[in-house]
């Protein structure tokens, strides 16, 4: 589990498929969280829970499934792309964001990102079938960042979030542009409620 409070922005070194095994491997440059990391640890990478399979003091490596490439924006990554990184929760971690599983539901397209007055607004269009999990003032994870839905278009499902300057400075959103795809994870509690209600006689 994760909180959506990004610890560091890493950079893609490579995303390559092994010719013999067919496995994709993502290598990430990191100056902070690689310190003290262990093989097998879970790290949210742009909101996607991945397992550390190799590391040194400045690099992390993860094996990436074909399913992950299909469900996320990872297939658009390039050398130097910014990645939001967060290590898994510890029992002593303060719960400053919201519960995030690291299981990306879908990607959404950025319809707007820019300054409005003294603030910055991000508008994202998710697949319509996931719009039912969105609620005004509810939680949403965008590229692994815990954010609050500030406005919701009930017709299209597009939603707005407001971004503080620190979020733009400390995450990959500061480099995002119109039309980019972002990884989305919708509130896990909403999914469980839907499942329970649907199963009632």
Per-residue confidence at 26, pLDDT binned at 50, 70, 90?
very high
Residue 83 and residue 32: Cα distance in Å, rounded?
13
- CB hemisphere CA count around 93 (13 angstroms): 17
Angle (CA) 188-171-13 rounded to 5° is 105
Average pLDDT value over all residues in the chain: 93
Q: Residue 194 pLDDT > 90, yes or no?
A: no
* Phi, psi values for residue 87, rounded to 5°: -75, 160
Residue 132 and residue 15: Cα distance in Å, rounded?
34
Token pair for 77: 């990554």
Share of the chain above pLDDT 90, in %: 78
The predicted pLDDT at position 60 comes to 97
Residue 183 and residue 181: Cα distance in Å, rounded?
7
Residue pLDDT, tens place only, 36-49: 899 999 999 999 99
Share of the chain above pLDDT 70, in %: 100
- How far apart, in Å, are the Cα atoms of 111 and each of 1, 88, 191, 198? 29, 30, 25, 33
Q: Residue 200 pLDDT > 80, yes or no?
A: no
- The C-alpha torsion from 125 through 47 and 51 to 58, rounded to 10°, is 120
Q: Residue 75 pLDDT > 80, yes or no?
A: yes
Q: Which residues of 8-34 are buried (b: 16+ CB within 10 A; e: fewer)?
A: bbbebbebeeeeeeeebbbbbebeebb
Token pair for 166: 């620190």
Residue pLDDT, tens place only, 82-121: 999 999 988 777 777 788 999 999 999 999 999 988 889 9
Domains of the chain, earliest start first: 8-87 (2.40.30.20), 106-199 (2.40.30.20)
Higher-confidence position of 200 and 64 = 64
Residue 97 and residue 2: Cα distance in Å, rounded?
9
Which DSSP letter does residue 88 get?
P
Residue 5 and residue 3: Cα distance in Å, rounded?
5
Per-residue confidence at 13, pLDDT binned at 50, 70, 90?
very high
């Amino acid at each position: 589990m994760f909180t959506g409070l990004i610890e560091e922005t890493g950079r893609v070194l490579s995303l390559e498929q092994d010719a013999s095994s067919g496995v994709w491997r993502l290598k990430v440059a990191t100056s902070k969280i690689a310190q003290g990391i262990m093989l097998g640890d879970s790290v949210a990478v742009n909101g996607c829970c991945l397992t550390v399979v190799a590391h040194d003091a400045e690099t992390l490596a993860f094996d990436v499934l074909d399913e992950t490439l299909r469900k996320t924006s990872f297939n658009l990554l390039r050398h130097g792309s910014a990645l939001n990184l967060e290590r898994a929760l510890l029992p002593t971690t303060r719960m400053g964001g919201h519960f995030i599983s690291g299981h990306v539901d879908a990607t959404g397209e950025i319809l707007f990102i820019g300054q409005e007055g003294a603030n910055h607004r991000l508008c994202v269009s998710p697949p319509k079938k996931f719009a039912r999990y969105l609620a005004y003032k509810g939680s949403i994870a965008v590229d692994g960042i815990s954010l609050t839905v500030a406005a919701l278009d009930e017709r299209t499902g597009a939603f707005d979030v407001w971004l503080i300057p620190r979020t733009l400075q400390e995450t990959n959103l500061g480099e995002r542009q119109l039309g980019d795809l972002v990884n989305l994870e919708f509130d896990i509690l909403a999914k469980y409620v839907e499942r329970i209600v649907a199963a009632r006689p």
